């Protein structure tokens, strides 16, 4: 094992001081370890001045700094271009190495390569470690030694690999036993305020979303009591059926190894382990999309299946008009509109609704999936390139193991199935609050007397549908026929 006199740990999407691969290895290999976080202008300068993610990160950085100080260290925080600030800080501190955790996004990989080159030129080493996934890159391959492109065999191979050496893959990377190697922070070091970074407070605290490790732990503690019901409840947006940990996974205020251990322990201890098994499957989906991005980085810009790039989407002012209606939640389909209101108001969207809204944009409105992908990237608190891209390409039938192109969600039947009483719809579309449940999924079908009693003026208080689903479905089948002519399977509906 290489030994260093002084090292620097660069925190990125791993904002915790426990079970942290880079911090663990740096402390074990170094006499003295400094810690740093960069508010990267390369990313922040492109964001609106009110962004929940920046506020979440800021709160998490403040908490991380306090936690490191209790261990005898602290966090050096800078606001600048990370590719410049890290080599500069390494030179100022005269460190022998910079430690970080792997990132899998193309731009981040290029940034890290630039940092590594700059460090090497100055005589310092770059040491990167696996941390945000359990299994990565080539650790799960088919028997032919190829990356998987279908989820179920990937999941089976993932589970088999994990079971072969669970201790190796899931053991935590302890920090506290080596904390005496943390370098004390200069008393003059201060974390810039949100305002000093050029950002304003959002409604994050009003939404009950707390950043940092304590926020992650609170959500995990709450979910432990509900994990057994996860498989039954996870598809109903009006119910608190999911873990709500996605934003914490995104920014690393919790440990993926710890969450997988939680799932496995629940599977073994609960009388009905189906809920925990279903949750574990979702964690594996996350790793599947990381693997796809690693092996097929072109998905960040184009379809996983190149032939789907031939599809001709709606264009011009008509497409812009449809897209704006979708973004603003005024399509005339209540479940779609309520979901978009949830996204716009909270930065969160329930996973079932991500599928429904994506399918609607692509297959009812005929709008390029990349438009929706970019909008989600702007709005989602838990935005992650791999998962977001994978989800959109799944819905658009352009990705690996995607739903067949002829599988087109019916927004009304989805609403009736997953929000039967309209509780979720009423929460985000108050103009429909008094509409009887039997009409709330398709209010344009309500007789005038029913609408009047509900205080709804058709077309004024709530829009008529901007497309007719059955007609839009036929257009979609024709649009995708360039790839494969519709067969008898094209009559499948959901």
Q: Catalytic positions, please?
A: 282, 285, 313, 351, 369, 392
- Report the alpha-carbon distance of residue 199 to residue 54 in Å, rounded: 8
Strands of 4-11's sheet in order across: 76-80, 30-40, 4-11, 97-101, 125-129
**Phi, psi for 125 (deg, rounded to 5):** -100, 155
Angle between helices 351-359 and 385-396 (to 10 degrees): 50
Q: Using an 8 Å Cβ cutoff, are 276 and 227 in contact?
A: yes
Mention every residue, 6+ apart, whose C-beta is less than 8 A from residue 164: none
∠ at Cα 94 (93, 98), nearest 5°? Answer: 85
Mention every residue, 6+ apart, whose C-beta is less than 8 A from residue 7: 26, 29, 30, 32, 33, 34, 95, 96, 97, 98, 99
* Pairing state between β 97-101 and 30-40: unpaired
Measured from the Cβ of residue 419, the count of other Cβ atoms closer than 10 Å reads 28
Q: How far is CA 70 from CA 123, 183, 187, 202, 366, in A?
A: 32, 12, 14, 29, 54
């Amino acid at each position: 094992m290489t030994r260093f006199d002084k090292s620097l740990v660069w925190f990125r999407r791993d904002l915790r001081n426990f079970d942290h691969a880079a911090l663990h290895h740096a402390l074990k290999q170094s006499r003295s370890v400094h810690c740093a976080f960069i508010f990267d202008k390369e990313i922040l300068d492109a964001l609106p001045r009110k962004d929940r993610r920046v506020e979440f990160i800021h709160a998490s950085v403040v908490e991380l700094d306090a936690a490191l100080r209790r261990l005898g260290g602290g966090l050096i925080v800078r606001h600048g271009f990370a590719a410049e600030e890290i080599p500069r800080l390494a030179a100022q501190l005269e460190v022998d190495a910079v430690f970080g955790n792997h990132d899998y996004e193309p731009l981040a990989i290029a940034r890290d390569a630039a940092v590594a080159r700059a460090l090497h030129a100055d005589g310092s080493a770059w040491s990167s470690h696996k941390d945000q996934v359990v299994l990565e890159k080539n650790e799960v391959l088919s028997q032919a030694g190829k990356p998987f492109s279908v989820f179920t065999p990937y999941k089976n191979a993932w589970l088999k690999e994990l079971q072969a050496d669970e201790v190796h893959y899931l053991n935590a990377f302890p920090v506290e036993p080596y904390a005496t190697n943390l370098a004390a922070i200069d008393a003059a070091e201060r974390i810039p305020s949100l305002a000093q970074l050029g950002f304003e407070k959002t409604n994050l605290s009003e939404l009950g979303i707390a950043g940092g490790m304590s926020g992650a732990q609170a959500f995990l503690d709450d979910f432990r009591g509900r994990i057994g019901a996860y498989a039954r409840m996870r598809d109903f947006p009006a119910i608190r059926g999911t873990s709500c940990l996605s934003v914490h996974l995104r920014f690393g205020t919790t440990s993926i190894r710890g969450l997988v251990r939680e799932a496995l322990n629940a599977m073994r201890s609960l009388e009905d382990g189906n809920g925990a098994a279903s949750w574990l499957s979702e964690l594996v989906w996350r790793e599947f999309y990381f693997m796809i991005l690693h092996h097929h980085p072109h998905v960040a810009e184009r379809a996983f299946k190149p032939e789907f790039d031939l599809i001709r989407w709606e264009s011009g002012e008509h497409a812009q008009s449809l897209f704006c209606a979708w973004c603003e939640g005024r399509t005339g389909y209540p479940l779609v509109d309520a979901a978009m209101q949830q996204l716009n108001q909270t930065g969160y969207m329930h996973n079932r609704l991500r599928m429904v809204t994506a399918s609607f944009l692509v297959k009812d409105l005929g709008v390029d999936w990349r438009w929706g992908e970019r909008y989600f990237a702007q709005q989602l608190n838990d935005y992650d390139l791999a998962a977001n891209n994978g989800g959109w390409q799944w819905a658009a039938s352009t990705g690996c193991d995607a739903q067949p192109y002829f599988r087109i969600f019916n927004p009304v039947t989805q609403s009736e199935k997953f929000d039967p009483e309209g509780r979720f719809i009423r929460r985000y579309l108050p103009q429909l609050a008094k509409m009887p449940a039997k009409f709330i999924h398709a209010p344009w079908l309500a007789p005038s007397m029913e609408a009047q009693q509900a205080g709804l003026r058709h077309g004024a208080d709530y829009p008529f549908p901007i497309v007719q689903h059955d007609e839009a479905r036929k257009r979609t089948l024709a649009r995708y026929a360039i790839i494969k002519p519709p067969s008898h399977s094209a009559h499948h509906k959901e």
